[in-house]
Amino acid sequence: MSPDLPPVVPSVTAELVGALPPRLRKRLDAGVTKLVARPAVRDGDTVRIAVDDDTDLVLHAPGGAVTRADAIRCGCLLAPDCLHRAAAASAAPVADEAPAGDPEKPETPDEPETAPAAEAGDDAANAGRRAAARAVSDAAAAVLEAGTDGAGAVLQAELLHAAHTARLAGLPRLSAAAVAVVTGVRAARSGDPGYRLTDLAGALAGVLGVAHRLPHATGPELSDLRGTARQPYRPDGSLRLYGLFSEPVLTATGYAGAVTWTADAEGRLYTVSDVAPGGPARATGAADRAVRIGDTSLTHRELSRAGLAVSGATVSPTGRLGAGAGVRAVRASGVAWRAEPLDRLWAVPAAEQVSRALNGGRDLLFLEVTPVGAVRETAGDCLLADCDGLSVLLTTAHDDPSLPCRENLRLLAAAGRARLRIVARLVPGPFPRALLLAAEHPADPDARVDLGLDRLQHADLPGGVVAPPDRALPAGDEAPLHLLRRRVHQAVSGGRRVLAFAGDRPGDGARLRRAGLATAGDLLDDLHAAAADRSRDVFGRLLPADTDRFGRSWLAAAVYTDAVERALCADAWGATATGAGGARPPATPIH
């Protein structure tokens, strides 16, 4: 996936790939690799790529996204049904045709909720939704069957086509979930540093889970599974807000910017965001651009430390402030984290905050910690901190070297035993872990540092010296659940064949059962059986694999693993996790 290209809506990619003759489809992945190596030149809404010395490929993206197939033009002899146009659409980030509440993309404020195409009781509409859910399920199962190693541009386009069909059938949640899978697959195949295998596993489980439940759902469950095409903004009168912190947004989908978090006098959280297509430079630059609300000239960096008085406010269900014509906002004074009303955010016990996050609430944690020091981990150094007797591992929110996250974490790890208030984002797991977002300044508790935007200096530290990590990562994840999780993740990367060839390690199922995880043992056995299940025709030739059975077996294992991991996470923090749980994409910033 190339962040230099403008986002392309799913229907355009599906149309261009579908128009290719079979011989060109076989060459599409190689065409994508070749195209992304060519420089892209942007001029306003137009991006131009020199395919060779005599041929240019042009993408026209009014409003920031390519929304029509004829907006991608090529000068080669095979155009319009040429490999270059399909390769460009396949290499570009995916744009939503109708945003469905995706927190990584900007949304149009103050628009009413889009109504479904027909009422749930309409037989024709129900049949259309069932067909759309089946199409998405089949396409997602095919991606799982192939794994990221084998899910090339053609399979991605088929899933995007299914996503477009789901959107037209009034299933925006399913459509957005399918697009999230394609985005994750592209990130994996392109070596995107922001790619996380667990994220893609969650996205796959999410889309397969929604598609599986939709045909049988009724009433409120059906409404929830359908989703809404746009988040409705509700009037919220006048608000007095206090800045908390700002964080950069840098996504695998090609969007970047900043989001600033604020709180009112009751501790309710509200956000203001500036997110658009772009890369790391936009993420760092957005902090110094004015927030888009009312007539205020405050930048995101200033708002994170100041306040805001808003009249005629409109707010989305996630707490995002609308910027409609009737909204008025002026600068107001801010307060320190240790002053009211912000102080109350840190008064809530950590276990209670984790319980809230695991049960569908905000995933932000407001903690008071004592840095113990840096520890070594495969992905890089982490900060081990003491939180009222609980050892917590704090990691960076972004690994991009253009952002100061990792260096700031190393400096905080050397800040001695100074007690600091921090803001972090929960990372579910068997060991207390969180992404570090903001912290009090080590030398001044009345000041704060946005760790993804501000840069600490060695002179800011009491000792002024950064020591190398002298500790190994604390032991964790002792429960043998990892035996099942590893197979779930291996399938995402290598597809069904990896599990079919690997077979079950002797004793894995027995070990799970001895640990009291009998269901995990059964699921592991069923997953391997589904992966290895291949029938033969009368001539002894292998028949195509049953992708539906494998998808259902994998989904069952993924849902179970997610539920148990949530329970382990709650236990690690001394929290509680209620409800059925279920596989879902990992928490992301809400802005």
Contacts for 285 with CB less than 8 Å, ≥ 6 apart: none
Cβ proximity of 174 and 164 under 8 Å: no
Largest CA distance in the chain: 80
| Number of Cβ within a 10 Å radius of residue 388 | 12
In the block, residue with structure tokens 């840095």 = 371
Q: What is the pLDDT of residues 230-250, one digit of tens each?
A: 656 677 789 999 999 999 988
Nearest Cα to Cα of residue 230 among 93, 62, 96, 63: 96
Nearest Cα to Cα of residue 274 among 318, 320, 208: 320
* DSSP string computed for 351-370: HHHHHHHHTTS--EEEEEEE
CA-to-CA distance for 24 and 4, rounded, in angstroms? 24
Q: Provide the pLDDT for residue 466.
A: 47
Sheet containing strand 269-277, strands side by side: 269-277, 255-263, 234-250, 307-315, 328-332
CA-to-CA distance for 453 and 407, rounded, in angstroms? 11
Please state, in angstroms and as integers, the Cα–Cα distance from residue 201 to each residue in 479, 561, 562, 566, following that order.
20, 11, 10, 15
Task: Say which amino acid occupies 359.
Answer: N
Q: Provide the pLDDT for residue 30.
A: 93
Task: Say which amino acid occupies 253.
Answer: T
Q: What is the pLDDT along the chain (591 residues), one digit of tens a residue?
A: 565 788 899 999 999 999 999 999 999 999 998 998 888 888 888 999 998 888 899 999 987 889 999 999 999 988 888 999 999 999 998 886 644 333 333 333 333 333 344 444 566 778 889 999 999 999 999 999 999 989 999 999 999 999 999 999 999 999 999 999 999 999 888 877 667 788 899 999 999 999 999 998 989 999 999 987 665 667 778 999 999 999 998 876 577 889 999 999 999 999 998 887 788 888 889 999 999 888 888 999 999 999 999 999 888 877 888 877 788 999 999 999 999 999 999 999 999 999 999 887 889 999 999 998 888 776 677 899 999 999 999 999 988 888 999 999 988 887 766 789 999 999 888 889 999 999 999 888 889 999 999 998 887 776 544 455 555 554 444 568 889 999 999 999 999 998 887 655 567 888 899 888 999 999 999 999 899 887 777 777 877 778 899 999 999 999 999 899 889 899 999 987 664 444 333 333 322
Q: Put residue 51 in one of left, alpha, beta given phi > 0 → left and psi -120 to 50 → alpha.
A: alpha
449: helix, strand or coil = strand
Please state, in angstroms and as integers, the Cα–Cα distance from residue 155 to each residue in 151, 152, 181, 300, 462, following that order.
6, 6, 11, 40, 55
- The percentage of residues in the chain with a pLDDT greater than 90, rounded to a whole number, is 52
Chain length of the chain: 591
Task: Say which amino acid occupies 124.
Answer: A
Task: Say which amino acid occupies 36.
Answer: V
In the block, residue with structure tokens 């993420």 = 283
Q: Provide the pLDDT for residue 115.
A: 37
Q: What is the pLDDT of residues 249-259, one digit of tens each?
A: 887 657 788 99
Cβ proximity of 310 and 294 under 8 Å: yes
Q: Provide the pLDDT for residue 27.
A: 94
Question: For helices 123-150 and 547-573, what crossing angle results, to 10°?
Answer: 80
Q: Provide the pLDDT for residue 454.
A: 93
**Cα–Cα–Cα angle for 64, 277, 90, nearest 5°?**
80
221-225 long-range contacts (CB < 8 A, ≥24 apart) are 222/120, 223/120, 224/173, 225/171, 225/173, 225/174
Alpha helices, DSSP H, located in 286-340? 300-303
Alpha helices, DSSP H, located in 293-395? 300-303, 343-347, 350-358
Question: For helices 482-494 and 123-150, what crossing angle results, to 10°?
Answer: 90
Cis-peptide, bond into residue 80, ω within 30° of zero: yes
Consecutive H or E run containing 544? none
